Amino acid sequence: MIKFLNEIEKNDSFEILNSKCINWDFYKNSSILITGATGMIAFQIITALLLANEKYDLNITIYALARNKEKTIKKFADKITPNLHFIFQDITEKINCPAVDFIIHTANGTASKGFVENPVETIDTIVIGTKNILEFAKDKAVKSVIYLSSMEVYGNISTERVEPLKESDYGYMDLMKVRNSYPLGKRLAENMCCAYFSQYDVPVKIARLSQIIGSGVDYNDNRVFAQFARNIVENKDIILKTPGLTVRSYCYVTDCVIALLLMSEIGHNGEVYNIANPDTTCSIREMAEMLCKKYPSSNLKINVDDRLYPDTTKYYLDTTKYYLDTTKYYLDTGWTPSVSLEDMYSRLIENFKK
């Protein structure tokens, strides 16, 4: 029987297990490869599949691909079962895995600092890693491949834009900005998925993710939402390093995992889908204000440190608006997210406290 680190992780996993969107019988007696196994999304997918095996006797064989053996074994220490197999390799190498029915390709870094300081590795991981997965899927006649992309592929979108971003909307992206190694790599990987579907009939679907929040976020994660949660836990002021005008849509990890598992069965091959909770869309400053209001006992302030603003453009996105339209995915699958931004933070902060 698998174990959970705390009640938040357990409740999240059962929330996925009990979702009415997922037809668990679709995965019965199948095999699935999950890359980037130690990442938050992959870890939650694997945990949900293991729990579904226990509860519904599905006999799903799971191959968890990761680079760091020590980190992986430690992370899954309480979840080792006969159906879980580890593959330790770099995603930029040829995939060394038995034939599988499904693939969910999540392997990727998420730290802006890494995009700037290691842009070549960033591009290689995205582009070569995705090509290796698509080649493996082609050679093994995989039934479905889910590729995890990012809202950053939209480029620079004006904060004055009112309409949400549909999958066909794109903004300008500076090819000579080093940080764009990540979004440009993602754009190329998406086109590669399209090419493999067109030329080789590889059944790939692209999930274009908003910012994903979840109980599995590391306490020392340096993304803005994690910094804010840490400030609440430690009763520190929220200090904005920019005016906070950037607008994003968010999604909780349970809603995201449900969407991805549903996509394997119902999503249309060769299509790209926005995955987000449109009701969570807000600016960085609005998010900070919401938290200060929700946690008044923390006696927080919002201090825009203008001295830091010029130095952050190297690592952070230009001011932009990522308000994602999820109509296409709803019409194709019926999926709707359920976790609000306040609830996302309640779970994340509670998990940080533990």
Q: What is the pTM of this model?
A: 0.95
Quick one: which H or E segment has residue 341? helix 341-353
- Report the candidate in 243, 222, 241 with the shortest Cα–Cα distance to residue 308: 241
Question: For residue range 80-95, what is the model confidence (pLDDT) as tens digits?
Answer: 999 999 999 999 999 9
The strand ranges marked E within 70-127 are: 84-88, 102-105
For domain 7-215+250-278+323-338, say whether CATH 3.40.50.720 is its number.
yes
Position 304 confidence tier, pLDDT thresholds 50, 70, 90: low
Strands (E), the chain: 31-35, 61-66, 84-88, 102-105, 144-150, 204-209, 211-213, 238-240, 247-252, 272-275, 277-283, 302-304, 321-322
CA dist., res. 159 & res. 173, Å (int): 15
Q: What is the pLDDT of residues 13-72, one digit of tens each?
A: 999 999 999 999 999 999 999 999 999 999 999 999 999 999 999 999 999 999 999 999
- Cα–Cα distance measured from residue 112 to residue 124, given in angstroms and rounded to the nearest whole number: 16
Higher pLDDT pick, 241 / 6 = 6
Q: How far apart are CA 204 and CA 236, in angstroms?
A: 44
Please tell me the distance from the alpha carbon of residue 97 to that of residue 85, in angstroms, as a whole number: 10
Q: Please write the tens of the pLDDT for every residue from 187-245.
A: 999 999 999 999 999 999 999 999 999 988 999 998 899 999 999 999 888 888 778 89
Q: Specify the amino acid at residue 46.
A: I
* pLDDT(106) > 90: yes
Dmax (CA) of the chain: 59
Report d(CA 48, CA 15) in Å as an integer.
9
